[in-house]
Each structure stands twice: as structure tokens, then as C-alpha cells.
Amino acid sequence: MKKVGILTGGGDCPGLNPVIRAVVRYAIQENYQVVGIKNGWKGLIENDTVELNLQSVSGILPKGGTILGTSRTNPYKKENDIEKAKENFKKIGLDALIAVGGEDTLGVANKLYKDGFNVVGAPKTIDNDLNCTDVTFGFDTAINIVTEAIDRLHTTAESHHRIMVVEVMGRHAGWIALESGLAGGADVILIPEVPVDIDEVCSIIKKRHKRGKSYRIIVVAEGAQFKKGTMVTQEEKLDAFGHVRLGGMGQRVGDEIEKRTGYETRVTVLGHIQRGGTPTAFDRVLGTRFGIKTMELVLKKDYGKMASLQGNKIIAVPLEAAVSELKTVDMELYNIAKIFFG
């Protein structure tokens, strides 16, 4: 019996379990044994695995997170880790490996493929910033969670006549801030792609106050930057992929608004709430389709590819192209949002 491995790496998000379930159901139908690699690439380095069968994936479709666990481990970061991963790939007896993750996880998958290993990928990130796919699973759930939070903040902001600043995830791309802000009726949306002009933000707030609206909702992506500044970080420590830990931009924006306008301002940081909980129907279906497609690629021995949503079709694209650059915000959509800033 042939063996296919599957791992989930990077930040967790709703929709991972539907991918795992789809792979297992399809693989077993095709007489494959499925090996779950626990905790992302860390599990491959440490040979930490679990057999996945029909019982393992029963009932996980609506469950958030990942039953396999995850980590931000980069096997190419520490000396000898990648050799251990390659050795365990062979020791486990994998005919192929399905890596489910974002730019970092799939970047490792692409390197491993180039090193001669049979690897395919499925695109996961709530940031929706992975190239060569219209949407990544996890994004729809995240923007629905954020939109609901904004809806709730509208009522308390109106009651207290306050400015409410909502900080959402988005390191280099502002997709979450843009789409949830647009859906939630935000007065201003601040994203990494457009440097923040705090004077302009305060001017918009003051103009709307003059028109009689005594409260505002400002949505800020965590990776947004002031025009002459750098990203606001919680600490300078880097993770295994060289990323700083972000956070604090919402508070900086809130402090500046209150100082410059005199209006009472409160800041809400949604943080990991955005990536938790049960996936939406869209993400359940998309994750399932990606899982089926990755297993199809394994059956066809079409390695070095990633499942991708383009239009209404699930197609295969090269992993190398998918991780070559980030997919940043569609400025046409941002210009639509700006119509509602004035």
C-alpha cells in the first residue's frame, strides 16, 4: 500500500480540518495509507506522526484549527534539521507529501520539491495574500468574524459617542481590513499597501462630526505604517521565517486620533479571535475541494504543484509561482472603499 503524508504548518485557521478530511477520504478510496505529520515541519524533523483513517476524520468538518497541530518551524533554518526531515521522509516510507499552509510553509515545500522530493501544496492563510489563487481558505471565515465584531462595535460607539479603532490581522496585505471594513461600514480603513496619513484620518473624523455623526469606526491592519515610520511591533524578536511579531498599530492610531481631535477613542485588538472557531460553509467547501485536488495531483504524480482557486475552477499551479511574491490588495476595491471615507 502506498503512503501519502499530510502536514499543516504556520498559523492555524478554520478550514484545515476539511482539507485533512478530504485527503483521507479520497486517499483511502484509492488504496493509500495516510500518515499525519504532527505540528507542521517540526513533526517531519522529529518523526512525530499519526496514522489517519476514516475514524480519525469523522466529525471534524465543522471543527476549527487542525487535528494535526501546527508550528512555525522552518527546517531550513537550523543546521541538520532539513537532513533530518529528508531522512524521516524516507524512513516513514512516504510516496508523497501534502503540505497545507501559507507562503512560509509552501516555501519550504517548494524547496523540498526542488531537492527531489514528491511534494504538493494546498493554500491556507486568513490574510489571503498567497499568490496564484483568487482566495485562500480561512479568509472567508476571518472576514465574517471581523465584520460581526465591527457590527457590534457600531452600537457601543454610537451609544457613547466614541471613536472605535479596530486592529485586525494583515502583515503585508490588507485584505482582511479592506473587505471586513467595507462590509462593516467602517469610516476609514488603513492597510499596509497605503501609508497612513494621520492628518487626513483626523480631518475625515472632524468633517463627519460637523455633519452630525458623533461616532466613527476605524479599521487598521496590524501591518499598516505611518508615512514616515516603520511597522509598529510588539518586540524585535524574529520567528523562524524572519518575521517580526506585529502589534500596537491600532493603539498608536487611537492615541493620535484622541490627541489631535479631542474625541474619546477606544481601541479593540481582535487578534487570534479572527482565526478561531468553526469555518464558514464557503471555507468548508473550499478546503474540501483543495484537499481533493491535492490528492488528485498525488495520484497523477504531478508534484511541485499547488491547488488553486481561479474563478470557479480548482486548478494546479507551480509552487514556485505561488510563493514567488505576495498578493497584495486590489487597489480598485480599495478605491471603492474610499468613496465611503468622505
Contacts of 261 by beta carbon, 8 Å cutoff, 6+ apart: 163, 202, 205, 206
- 3-class DSSP assignment, residue 214: coil
Buried residues in 220-246 as b, exposed as e (16+ CB within 10 A): bbbbbbbeeeebbbeeeeeebbeebeb
**In contact, 35 and 5? CB cutoff 8 Å:** yes
Residue type, 11: G
CA distance 251 to 167: 8
Residue 226: strand, helix, or coil: strand
Q: Give yes or no: 104 in active site.
A: no
Task: Single out the catalytic residue among 104, 127, 140, 283.
Answer: 127
SS3 content of the chain, % helix, strand, coil (to 5): 40, 20, 40
Give the integer Cα–Cα distance in Å for 130 and 164.
30
Strands (E) located in the chain: 2-8, 32-37, 49-52, 96-101, 119-123, 163-168, 188-190, 216-221, 233-238, 244-246, 265-269, 305-310, 313-318
C-alpha cell at 226: 505611518
Number of Cα atoms under 13 Å in the Cβ half of residue 300: 12
Residue 11 · residue 176 · CB < 8 Å: no
Active centre residues (catalytic): 127
